[in-house]
Amino acid sequence: MAAASSSTEINKNKSRNQNYDLDWLKHTNANQFLTEERRLINNLKSSSVDRGSQKKMSRYNGEINRMTYEQVLHELNRKNLSITGELDLLKRRLKHHYKAELLNNDHLGRSPLETYQQRYEYLAVIDFEATCDENQPENYQHEIIEFPIVLIHVQTVTITDTFRSFCRPVLKPILSDYCQKLTGITQEQVDAAPEFPETLKNVENWLNDRNLLSSKRKCAFVTDGPWDMAKFLRLQCYLSNIEYPHWAKKWINVRKAFGSFYSTKRCGILAMLSKLGLNFDGHRHSGLDDSINIAKITMELIKDGCVLIVNEFHRPTDVRSDPVDSSQNCLFDTNGDDFDPQQQEEDDKIIQFISEEDDKTLHFISEEQESEKESIQHLGKLLPVTVTKEQSQRKLSYHLGDLLK
């Protein structure tokens, strides 16, 4: 994504001083979310392993940790699994495969892809390109100049369709030389393109033609980091004086899912591809090419058994506030750490069940709990014991994601 490095830093102190109490949760869609959460957990628990199998899994993990590179490759080959990627990632892949076998309670060779049921039928990858300059000021108003979508069919793990439209900027209609060189987008391409409001209509027509915004098909949007939706799209809708699209209020941050699933630090597209043993195809900072490469990363996660679930979204009022004001926290993050890639201790503790080695993660909500209040209190016990009650409630509200439609 162009100009991401120059995005205005969020004031984290304001976020951490906000109070999210149980009354707030009660008056949101938390009840619906907890019901759905129980369903997902019960589905996992219904196929969870017994204590004997848990001991086997623990033993397998220890054996895998002690394996050499050659031994890991041999075992992956024997299991007909991909052998591309760094050693740590290969070991995680092998562990997920063994866990899939235990969840199946058999050794028929079914892969994690065949074991875990994905939540969405389609995943739509988006990576905007925006106006930028080499020495731009901190409050530079970026305008979207490329709107790409790469559509993944989850069941077949293939790219089935793409959309691409350039956008004509209004505030700074002449692209800087730096922007053109960085993105590969020419002045002629944006001059011939529609302005953003028309582009957004074309995007929604494209999505509706494929029934991707209807309730009949479950589709989630995927980005690399929070900036596409939380900053660039929000700013563009503000500048264009149009309503922020409802379907873009929640999304899957793939670098967060990647870091959580493979137990590694969050990183950018090139680093994720490198860890997977893959190369970048195309021109860096081309929106379409970036989206295709993000789709490649996403498909590898699916193949290895990562259950992808929305992990970031806007608060209800954020899309109507001033995105140029750097004091406003525009992101409702599942772990409350906003844009800081180093804070991952509690990353996706609720939504990334499958990435954990210990099956104790399948028992976040006990069967004996009967009310939403009890569920909330129980979930709060999962939070670090060193935090205050206020911090725990705030942290909990971050975990109760996916509240917007």
Give catalytic residues, as residue numbers: 129, 285
- β-pairing, 312-313 with 250-253? antiparallel
Backbone angles phi, psi at 4, to 5 degrees: -65, -35
Checking phi first, is residue 126 left (phi over 0); if not, alpha (psi -120 to 50) or beta?
A: beta
Got the DSSP string for 298-318? HHHHHHTT------EE--TTG
The span from the CA of 234 to the CA of 248, in Å, is: 9
The span from the CA of 191 to the CA of 189, in Å, is: 6
The span from the CA of 218 to the CA of 120, in Å, is: 5
Residue for token pair 């509200």: 397
Backbone angles phi, psi at 21, to 5 degrees: -100, 180
The span from the CA of 220 to the CA of 232, in Å, is: 18
DSSP letter assigned to residue 238: H
Q: Are 92 and 258 in contact (CB under 8 A)?
A: no
Q: Output the CA torsion sign for 49, 52, 58, 61.
A: negative
Other CB atoms closer than 10 Å to residue 51's CB: what's the count?
8
Other CB atoms closer than 10 Å to residue 155's CB: what's the count?
11
Backbone angles phi, psi at 71, to 5 degrees: -65, -40
Per-state percent for the chain, helix, strand, coil, to nearest 5: 45, 10, 45
Distances (CA, A) of 234 to 237, 246, 404: 5, 12, 16
Backbone angles phi, psi at 148, to 5 degrees: -105, 155
Checking phi first, is residue 396 left (phi over 0); if not, alpha (psi -120 to 50) or beta?
A: alpha
